[in-house]
Amino acid sequence: MYYVHNAQMRLYIGGLPYATTDAELREAFEKAGAVTSATVMRDKFTGRSRGFGFVEMSEEDGPKAIEMWNDKDFGGRTLQVNEARPMSEQRPPRHDFQRRDFHRRDY
């Protein structure tokens, strides 16, 4: 028996209205194709939306969703939609700041 692996694309969705639920995000992106998962990211302490989320869908439907939703209005806010990148690729590494003794007078 052979199994066909459907490659998935993970999309970053920025600019979400803070009241958006996972179900609303899924429903919106299902207009472009089948959604595997839709998650609005929340603050781990307060549970409030952080204003962005992720949607997983097929590599075939992902570009359609980007075209359909990027720079479009959703609940009064403009979405930024693009292919999600691994954390290591998102930004350059932070500088390794040296610890300073602020009680020492260097003047």
Q: Mind listing the pLDDT tens digit for each residue in 16-74?
A: 999 999 999 999 999 999 999 999 999 999 999 999 999 999 999 999 999 999 999 99
Q: What is the model's pTM?
A: 0.76
* Domain membership flag for residue 33: yes
Give the torsion through C-alpha atoms of 17, 25, 13, 88, to 10 deg. Answer: 120
Number of domains present in the structure of the chain: 1
For residue 99, tell me if it sits in a domain. Answer: no
Identify whether 92 is part of a domain: no
DSSP for 6-38 reads: --EEEEEEES--TT--HHHHHHHHTTTS-EEEE
Domain limits for position 51: 8-84
Residue 97 has pLDDT above 60, yes or no: no
- Report if residue 50 sits inside a domain: yes
Determine whether 102 is exposed, middle or buried from the number of CB atoms within 10 Å of its CB (0-12, 13-18, 19+).
Answer: exposed
